[in-house]
Amino acid sequence: MAHALVRFGLGRKGAEPAPADPTAWLREQIEAPDPIRFPSLPDSAACLTTLREERAMRRENPPAASTRVRDLLRAETSAQMQAAMATEAPFRERLVWFWGNHFAVSLRHGGVAAVAGAYVREAIRPHVTGRFADMLLAVMRHPAMLIYLDNVGSVGPDSPAGLRMGRGMNENLARECLELHTLGADGGFTQADVTSFARILTGWSIDLQGPEPGFLFRAGAHEPGAQTLLGHRFEEGEAGGRAALAFLATHPATYRYLAGKLATHFIADTPPADAVDRIASRLADTGGDLGAAALAVVAERAAWQPLTKLRTPLDFVVACARALDLREETMPDVHAVLGGLGEPLWMPPLPNGWPDRAADWAAPELLMRRIDWAHAVSGRAAGADPVQFADTTLGPLLRPETRAAMERAGSRRDAITLFLGSPEFQRR
Amino acid sequence: MILNRRTALLGLTAAVSLGPASLALAPAGTDRRLVVILLRGALDGLAAVQPYGDPDLARWRGALLLPEPGQAEGLLDLGGKFGLHPALGGLHELYRNGEALILHAAAGPWRSRSHFQAQDDLESGAAQRLASGWLNRAILALPPPPARGGAAGDAVGRAVAVGTAMPLLLEGPARVASWAPSRFGAPAPDLYARLAALNRSDPVLGPAIAEGVRSRGFATRVMDEDDGSALRERNTFPALAAAAAELMAAPDGPRIAALEIGGWDTHADQNARLAQPLRQLDAGIVALKSRLGPLWAGTVVLALTEFGRTVRANGTKGTDHGTGTVAFAAGGAIAGGRVVGEWPGLSEQALFEDRDLQPTTDLRALIKGVLAAHLGLSEPALAQVFPDSAGAGAIRGLVRPV
């Protein structure tokens, strides 16, 4: 049971009761509706309106720069981190973070900050137990992705707008969608496919000016003519783009690539090939049902081999907060904390998102900082006996040598630092 | 060295996890310094080093062209054919002093236009991802530290990764330190020691934490001797470069460092987006020179990127993923003031796959030339560092004779 909490969840929260049947507990989270709501956060249309107004203010009065987008981002990170720290459906939450990283956007690109939070809430979260094709379409139409991978200004050179203004395409989104979101780098596409897909996606843009800013298909910027992608013909127009995305979402190479990523995330850095095969088959048999795929991962015997994965800094921070029962507001500026630990929230360096293998997170200095931060939060542990606390959090996964080191520690704080810095807590 | 709580850390952790303290950061068997800067995201070689003398450039680049040398905010001339981007003023100064060299129209043996595959290949030094990085293999090939006569393969203290990540470039059998400015207060040294012991049996965490404790002890000691610049507190590239130079300048410090800087993936508004990372890179190279002081004379800095960008500007005033690009080699040891490599031209038929700058030099030829002449690697060692690279013979004459 302790294993299910760390492998598929976010670590035990305080002394919450341990579910008796781990598989049933995981299944319920997939089958029940998402318990998390964000009633106070604005939708992406409102976020884009804020962005538009802030830009206008900046033009009129540059020195008195508004902080509204920054405030919006802070509210988003705070609410979404708090959800992870408090949720009673942590498996579902892990899937939200997993798919959000699969379809990574980054605050390193200007303009994304206003909609990064809305992106996760609108394009990722509603689909984590739904169909992959629906998630893909929601992502590709979302302003955050269209801004991040530069598709908003991609204009077909032979479209009316292209001919009038002498403008053209940008193939960034098309390439990364094929390589990172669907088929995978080994999915058998060529440069010609990238170019064709970029033509298909011309005109997939956003409207920032209207009363309801958001996705806009700019027919006048769309490259005329049918296109060939992986040997299949797609008609011109928005419908052709939708058809191409539906085709990519259900392609066997896509299922295989997604299965490999899921298995690497939940089973092991190098997952068994037959496990990947079975998860891919489940995706194929269900037409890309992501809830079914998640349960296929749970059904793998290898997924129950304990502590094969290293927690990323985000997992580690959330697991510490849950174990110590800290709330987001008691951890001021969690963004700076995650930045210091090497995984600033929604800010991966490149569109492939954060890496998912132990070696990628085992830079010596990075691990030293985990220890430093663990030491800082250990000072906030409440009155419980540290060894009891460790027993509650990890159960049978706690090793005798860690228990012995904790018993010998000179202070409650040192004992908890030793626990949070132990390999059994840093792994999951 | 002032003895304080933090300096005690080095001796303590060395004793706990490594045996003799003297091994912790033994000097490598070379006095030469090598810094490798990875430019992640694909630098547009035609913008960084614009071939303004090429008659075909203007038809492809239109609005992306920078003013020619001599005009306001114009290119910095490199001898009549090429001009450096105006954000690279420091590098231009080095070039004019004969301390910087540019290889143009270069590419590695890979032809992927995927950032991620190509960066893996660049760091592996091969046309596919290998289990270790070429710089790690180069460290293994260095002669052992003379005074200690260390066991074969003992490369402790020879190299440091600066920043919070450990790049594939430095992964492999040779042990490598890492350093980045810390932001959190630290517990007492013996708690680290106990944590290192608790983690010792973990195949990943054990060695990494032992190395973290050791390099921090070293870094703290070296940094204490510095006059305390606020620069290193910040996580900017010039600050990290300055910190790398400080670590490398210590007599028993690492001889080899790797850094990385992103911001090059300029699919849109390239002219507006490219100046900032170029300025950061430029300031970082200048910081390396000033902090290394007299050691700069024995230093080589390589700046390498995974591939170049399309010759044609795209429809959003940017460029897409391409092939041939530039590489920079700077340092007092470089026989510079030259642009090397055969220029393929930019006529329609000269382009690679009708879109990219045709590569004419294998990037590995530049790196091998530096490893051979600067660090003394033999031909067999170079063949280990870069497997299947017989076709990419080391470029001769890159480094000044000692």
Region of residue B390 (left: phi > 0; alpha: psi -120 to 50; beta: else): alpha
From CA A420, how far away is CA A402, in angstroms rounded? 10
Task: Report the chain A residue with the minimal C-alpha distance to residue B161.
Answer: A363
pLDDT band at B233 (very low <50, low <70, confident <90, very high): very low
Secondary structure string (H, E, C) spanning chain A: CHHHHHHCCCCCCCCCCCCCCHHHHHHHHHHCCCCCCCCCCCCHHHHHHHHHHHHHHHHHCCCCCCCHHHHHHHHHHHHHHHHHHHCCCHHHHHHHHHHHHHCCCCCCCCCCCCCHHHHHHHHHHHHCCCEHHHHHHHHHHCHHHHHHCCCCCCCCCCCHHHHHHCCCCCCHHHHHHHHHHCCCCCCCCCHHHHHHHHHHCCCEEEECCCCCCEEEECHHHCCCCCEEECCEEECCCHHHHHHHHHHHHCCHHHHHHHHHHHHHHHCCCCCCHHHHHHHHHHHHHCCCEHHHHHHHHHCCHHHHCCCCCECCHHHHHHHHHHHCCCCHHHCCCHHHHHHHCCCCCCCCCCCCCCCCCHHHHCCHHHHHHHHHHHHHHHCCCCCCCHHHHHHHHHHHHCCHHHHHHHHHCCCHHHHHHHHHCCHHHHEC
Distance from CA of B204 to the nearest CA of A (A): 7
Taking residues A258-281, what's their average pLDDT?
98
Helices A412-420 and A364-378: crossing angle in degrees, nearest 10, is 140
pLDDT band at A19 (very low <50, low <70, confident <90, very high): confident
In the predicted model, is pLDDT for residue A121 greater than 90?
A: yes
Under a CB-based contact definition with an 8 Å cutoff, are residues A122 and A43 in contact?
Answer: yes
| Per-residue tokens: A107 | 């605050």
Distance from CA of A375 to the nearest CA of B (A): 6
Higher pLDDT, B222 or B208: B208
Under a CB-based contact definition with an 8 Å cutoff, are residues A396 and A287 in contact?
Answer: no
Nearest 5°: the CA angle B32, B133, A188 is 145
From chain B, pick out residues whose CB is under 8 angstroms from the CB of A181: none
Alpha-carbon distance values, B169 to A265, B67, B122, B153, B174 (Å): 24, 37, 8, 17, 12
User: Is B314–A168 a contact, with Cβ atoms under 8 angstroms apart?
Assistant: yes
In the predicted model, is pLDDT for residue A410 greater than 80?
A: no
User: Is A372–B316 a contact, with Cβ atoms under 8 angstroms apart?
Assistant: no
Which domains does chain B carry? 33-183+237-351+365-385 (3.40.720)
Task: Report the chain B residue with the minimal C-alpha distance to residue A149.
Answer: B267
Of A167, A426, A427, the CB nearest to B315: A167
User: Is B204–A310 a contact, with Cβ atoms under 8 angstroms apart?
Assistant: yes
User: Of B40, B175, B191, B234, which to mutate for an interface test with A (greatest number of A Cβ within 10 Å)?
Assistant: B191
From CA B330, how far away is CA B290, in angstroms rounded? 13
Of A153, A336, A409, the CB nearest to B316: A153
Taking residues A317-339, what's their average pLDDT?
83
In the predicted model, is pLDDT for residue A257 greater than 90?
A: yes
User: Is A365–B213 a contact, with Cβ atoms under 8 angstroms apart?
Assistant: no
User: Letter for the amino acid at A66?
Assistant: S
User: Is B267–A423 a contact, with Cβ atoms under 8 angstroms apart?
Assistant: no
pTM for the complete prediction? 0.80
In the predicted model, is pLDDT for residue B4 greater than 50?
A: no
Region of residue A278 (left: phi > 0; alpha: psi -120 to 50; beta: else): alpha
Task: Report the chain A residue with the minimal C-alpha distance to residue B322.
Answer: A191
User: Is A350–B115 a contact, with Cβ atoms under 8 angstroms apart?
Assistant: yes
Q: Which residues 6+ apart lie within 8 Å of A30 measured at CB?
A: A91, A92, A129, A291, A294, A295
User: Letter for the amino acid at B26?
Assistant: A
Under a CB-based contact definition with an 8 Å cutoff, are residues B169 and B135 in contact?
Answer: yes
Instruction: Tell me what pLDDT residue A321 has.
Output: 92
Distance from CA of A28 to the nearest CA of B (A): 34
pLDDT band at B230 (very low <50, low <70, confident <90, very high): very low
Secondary structure string (H, E, C) spanning B203-264: CCHHHHHHHHHHHHHHHHHHHHHCCCCHHHHCCCHHHHHHHHHHHHHCCCCCCEEEEEECCC
Instruction: Tell me what pLDDT residue B177 has.
Output: 79
pLDDT band at A217 (very low <50, low <70, confident <90, very high): very high
Of B166, B187, B201, the CB nearest to A363: B166
Taking residues A244-252, what's their average pLDDT?
98
Taking residues A96-115, what's their average pLDDT?
95
Alpha-carbon distance values, A357 to A294, A413, B211 (Å): 19, 30, 19
User: Is B187–A375 a contact, with Cβ atoms under 8 angstroms apart?
Assistant: yes
Tens digits of residue pLDDT in B248-290: 998 878 899 999 888 898 999 999 989 999 999 999 999 999 9
Instruction: Tell me what pLDDT residue A95 has.
Output: 98
Smallest Cα–Cα separation from B236: which of B260, B256, B216? B260
pLDDT band at B185 (very low <50, low <70, confident <90, very high): low
Instruction: Tell me what pLDDT residue A271 has.
Output: 98
Of A179, A340, A423, the CB nearest to B114: A179
In the predicted model, is pLDDT for residue B148 greater than 60?
A: no
Under a CB-based contact definition with an 8 Å cutoff, are residues A237 and A219 in contact?
Answer: yes
Q: Which of A20-24, A334-338, B95-99 has the lowest mean pLDDT?
A: A334-338
Distance from CA of A220 to the nearest CA of B (A): 15
Instruction: Please state, for a pLDDT cut of 90, what percent of chain A lies above it.
Output: 81
Residue-level length of chain B: 402
Under a CB-based contact definition with an 8 Å cutoff, are residues A227 and A199 in contact?
Answer: yes
Smallest Cα–Cα separation from B3: which of B316, B225, B231, B298? B225
From chain B, pick out residues whose CB is under 8 angstroms from the CB of A175: 113-114, 320-321
From CA A336, how far away is CA B183, in angstroms rounded? 9
- DSSP bridge partners of B102: B328, B339
Up-side HSE of residue A186: CA atoms within 13 Å toward CB? 6
* Mean pLDDT estimate for chain A: 93
pLDDT band at A316 (very low <50, low <70, confident <90, very high): very high
Residues of A (360-399) whose Cβ lies below 8 Å from B: 360, 362-369, 371-373, 375-376
Instruction: Tell me what pLDDT residue A382 has.
Output: 59
From chain A, pick out residues whose CB is under 8 angstroms from the CB of B44: none
From chain B, pick out residues whose CB is under 8 angstroms from the CB of A169: 314-316
Under a CB-based contact definition with an 8 Å cutoff, are residues B179 and B213 in contact?
Answer: no
Distance from CA of A356 to the nearest CA of B (A): 13
From CA A7, how far away is CA A298, in angstroms rounded? 10
Tens digits of residue pLDDT in A143-156: 999 999 999 999 99
From CA A277, how far away is CA A260, in angstroms rounded? 8
User: Is A350–B164 a contact, with Cβ atoms under 8 angstroms apart?
Assistant: no
Q: Is A401 within 8 Å of chain B by CB?
A: yes
Residues of A (32-91) whose Cβ lies below 8 Å from B: none
Under a CB-based contact definition with an 8 Å cutoff, are residues B296 and B331 in contact?
Answer: yes
Distance from CA of A351 to the nearest CA of B (A): 9
Q: Is A426 within 8 Å of chain B by CB?
A: yes
| Per-residue tokens: B6 | 């933090």
Tens digits of residue pLDDT in A37-55: 999 999 999 999 999 999 8
User: Is B177–A364 a contact, with Cβ atoms under 8 angstroms apart?
Assistant: yes
The distance from CA A408 to its chain's CA centroid, rounded to whole angstroms, is 40
pLDDT band at A337 (very low <50, low <70, confident <90, very high): confident
Backbone angles phi, psi at B227, to 5 degrees: -75, 5
The distance from CA B92 to its chain's CA centroid, rounded to whole angstroms, is 18
User: Of B276, B314, B321, which to mutate for an interface test with A (greatest number of A Cβ within 10 Å)?
Assistant: B314
Taking residues A385-392, what's their average pLDDT?
90
Instruction: Tell me what pLDDT residue B240 has.
Output: 86
Higher pLDDT, A413 or B6: A413
User: Letter for the amino acid at A290?
Assistant: L
How many Å is the Cα radius of gyration of chain A?
23
From CA A97, how far away is CA A262, in angstroms rounded? 12
Tens digits of residue pLDDT in B363-384: 999 999 999 999 999 999 999 9
Smallest Cα–Cα separation from B303: which of B32, B34, B36? B36
User: Is A418–B194 a contact, with Cβ atoms under 8 angstroms apart?
Assistant: yes
Smallest Cα–Cα separation from A290: which of A103, A140, A95, A97? A95
From CA B386, how far away is CA B343, in angstroms rounded? 25
Q: Is A402 within 8 Å of chain B by CB?
A: yes
From CA A319, how far away is CA A374, in angstroms rounded? 11
> In B319-347, which positions are buried (b, 16+ CB within 10 angstroms) versus exposed (e)?
bbbbbbbbbbbbbbbbebbbbbbebbbbe
User: Is A422–B197 a contact, with Cβ atoms under 8 angstroms apart?
Assistant: no
User: Of A189, A257, A357, A365, which to mutate for an interface test with B (greatest number of B Cβ within 10 Å)?
Assistant: A365
User: Is A153–B268 a contact, with Cβ atoms under 8 angstroms apart?
Assistant: yes
Of A185, A360, A405, the CB nearest to B194: A405
Taking residues A178-195, what's their average pLDDT?
97
Query: Which residue shows structure tokens 């989104």?
Result: A173
Under a CB-based contact definition with an 8 Å cutoff, are residues A401 and B198 in contact?
Answer: yes
* Mean pLDDT estimate for chain B: 84
Of A171, A191, A363, the CB nearest to B161: A363
Instruction: Tell me what pLDDT residue B164 has.
Output: 66
Tens digits of residue pLDDT in B28-82: 557 899 999 999 999 999 999 999 999 999 999 988 999 999 999 999 999 999 9
From chain A, pick out residues whose CB is under 8 angstroms from the CB of B165: 342, 360, 363, 366
Query: Which residue shows structure tokens 């991978």?
Result: A149
In the predicted model, is pLDDT for residue B24 greater than 60?
A: no
User: Is B268–A170 a contact, with Cβ atoms under 8 angstroms apart?
Assistant: yes
From CA B38, how far away is CA B48, in angstroms rounded? 15
| Per-residue tokens: B120 | 């893996």
User: Letter for the amino acid at A40?
Assistant: S
Nearest 5°: the CA angle A314, B206, A260 is 50
In the predicted model, is pLDDT for residue A16 greater than 90?
A: no
User: Is A352–B198 a contact, with Cβ atoms under 8 angstroms apart?
Assistant: no
User: Is A350–B262 a contact, with Cβ atoms under 8 angstroms apart?
Assistant: yes
pLDDT band at A138 (very low <50, low <70, confident <90, very high): very high
Instruction: Please report the number of interchain residue pairs, chain A to chain B, with beta-carbon separation below 8 angstroms.
Output: 173
From chain A, pick out residues whose CB is under 8 angstroms from the CB of B268: 150, 153, 170, 172
Residues of A (329-358) whose Cβ lies below 8 Å from B: 336, 340, 342, 349-352, 358
Taking residues B141-158, what's their average pLDDT?
54
Residue-level length of chain A: 428
Taking residues A84-103, what's their average pLDDT?
97
Of B212, B216, B315, the CB nearest to A168: B315
In the predicted model, is pLDDT for residue A238 greater than 60?
A: yes
Backbone angles phi, psi at A263, to 5 degrees: -65, -40
